[in-house]
Amino acid sequence: MGSNPTLSAHKLKALFRYELDWGFSYFKCKLLNMSHCKAFKYLFGLFLILFIFLSCEDKADPVEPVLDWRNLDLTQDFKTGSRNGEGIDPEKFEEGITIAKSLTGFHTIGVVYKGRLITEEYTIGDISTQYYVWSVTKSVLSALVGIAIDKGLMADEFQSFSSYYPSVTDSLKGKITVAQLLTMSSGIPDDITYMSAAYPLQFIMDKELLYPSGTYWNYTSAGTHVLSYIFTASTKESAKSFADTHLFPKLGITDYTWDQDAYGISNGGFGLSLRMRDMLKFGQLFLQKGKSAGQEIISSSWINKSTSMLIPFDASQSWGYGYLWWTAKVNGVNIYNALGYAGQFIIIVPSKALVIAATSNSVPVDGYVNDLYDTIMDKIVSSFSVINDK
């Protein structure tokens, strides 16, 4: 129990000790002149005061055992943790959570710090709800490409489109590599109506390139759907089927959906629906450098490469792109993000052992996404200290 602002535990101690200094002789005299009933009541009152006094002693919060947050068993649920733990500014943290929840369009947020789930807030849905995460799907596809390369099912990310589809007649399109699709530098224009096309791959590849591949950067969900076709050509499985074996069960993820096109190809640009806790599991896997309970799921080399700033967007390298991951330096801290339309986020902050996931309405009000992201960065992320246990 905390201190009473009117009468603190320390003041109670002083008063009680004063009573003890002279009280015993006084009580002896007083009790001799009282009936047995009154004497019993008086003694009972004294012991009640003593009990209250001892109960009001300031007590420290129990110390949470430190988890091996770099090697959690991700098939298990997260253990919960306190918002008042070491390295957290609780007032600033609470302010950030309160602001985020007040934004029109906000659905959920979860925060894992040093392997413990320290907050889980829902304004729409609950722990069983699947949320449509839009382009967060791209970062999951990137992870699956890495796993396929690790297993030798794809030679590397420098294979060309023509090596999988030799019938392509446009030599410029044939030169597009997996790496260029991963970094959004393929030149393929973005047209998200591909999912309703009778022949989605042809629909995308029939369009003129915006520029020769590898020249510039442009965001394109259509390009990542081409990557999903290449993935299936390499592994002989859809991305969803492959994930069902090689990724999601190893994270304890069983309750999700992934849209597919008319040919059974998993939508590479968007289409995943995940529970918020499962978004956190995916982020925690990357924080753990691809391992769960000592088992490698994705190689650390792929984790490092895919989350590096391979394409900087400005001279200061404050914002950029990796292999279907957004990378940034915010308030001096390096982070990487899986970002989906309208405010779907998985944010990893390695230097703070921090994973944050958030979901939002798919029809946001003007300014909402920036307000939510700024709140997460300026209030929530900044409420945590940089860890010093390397």
Q: What confidence tens digit (pLDDT) does each residue in 91-150 have?
A: 999 999 999 999 999 999 999 999 999 999 999 999 999 999 999 999 999 999 999 999
pLDDT score for 18? 35
**pLDDT band, residue 64 (cuts 50/70/90):** confident
Question: Residue 264: is its pLDDT beyond 70?
Answer: yes
Domain of residue 20, residue span: 9-55
pLDDT at 225: 98
Dist CA 283 CA 250 (whole Å): 13
Return the pLDDT at 389: 63
Nearest 5°: the CA angle 119, 125, 126 is: 45
pLDDT at site 353: 98
DSSP annotation of 390: -
pTM comes to 0.85
- Which residue, 359, 360, 357, 349, is CA-closest to 382? 349
Query: Do 154 and 254 lie in a common domain?
Result: yes
Q: What percent of the chain has pLDDT over 70?
A: 84
Number of domains in the chain: 3
On whether both 136 and 268 belong to a single domain, the answer is yes
Residue 299 in this model has a pLDDT that exceeds 90: yes
Residues 87, 197, single domain; the answer is no
* Bridging pattern class, strands 106-113 and 116-122: antiparallel
103 lies in a domain? yes
Residue 203 has pLDDT above 50, yes or no: yes
Q: What is the DSSP letter of 166?
A: T
Q: What is the CATH number of the domain that holds 136?
A: 3.40.710.10
Q: Which of 274, 297, 330 is the last residue of a domain?
A: 274
User: Is the separation of the CB atoms in 50 and 273 below 8 Å?
Assistant: no
Both 147 and 177 in one domain: the answer is: yes
Q: Tell me what pLDDT residue 110 has.
A: 98
Q: Are residues 330 and 387 in the same domain?
A: yes
In a domain, 282, yes or no: no
Is 90 exceeded by the pLDDT of residue 308? yes
- Read off the pLDDT of each residue in 233-259 and give the average, rounded to a whole number: 98
**Kind plus residue range of the DSSP H or E element containing 167:** none
pLDDT, position 63: 76
Same domain, 318 and 253: no
Q: For 361-390, how does the pLDDT look when each residue is reduced to its tens digit (9 = 90+)?
A: 999 899 999 999 999 999 999 999 999 865
With contact defined as beta carbons under 8 Å apart, do 278 and 129 qualify? no
pLDDT for residue 15 is more than 80: no
Q: Which residue has the higher pLDDT, 370 or 50?
A: 370
Residue at 378 is within a domain: yes
What does the block give as tokens for 46? 């004294």
Q: Is residue 281 part of a domain?
A: no
DSSP state, 82?
Answer: -
Cβ pair 219, 184 in contact under 8 A:
yes
Residues 144 and 14 in one domain: no
DSSP strands (E only) in 247-302: 257-258, 272-274, 291-292, 295-296
To the nearest whole number, what is the mean pLDDT of the chain? 88
pLDDT at 25 over 90: no
Are 183 and 244 in the same domain?
yes
Lowest mean pLDDT among 22-26, 72-76, 351-355: 22-26
Same domain, yes or no, for 141 and 266?
Answer: yes
Residues 33-41: what's their mean pLDDT? Answer: 48
For the beta carbon of residue 36, count every other beta carbon within 10 angstroms: 8
- For residue 122, how far is the Cα from the chain centroid? 15
Question: Does residue 253 sit in the same domain as residue 313?
Answer: no
Residue with tokens 């391992």: 291
Residues 6+ apart with CB under 8 A from 281: 74, 251, 252, 253
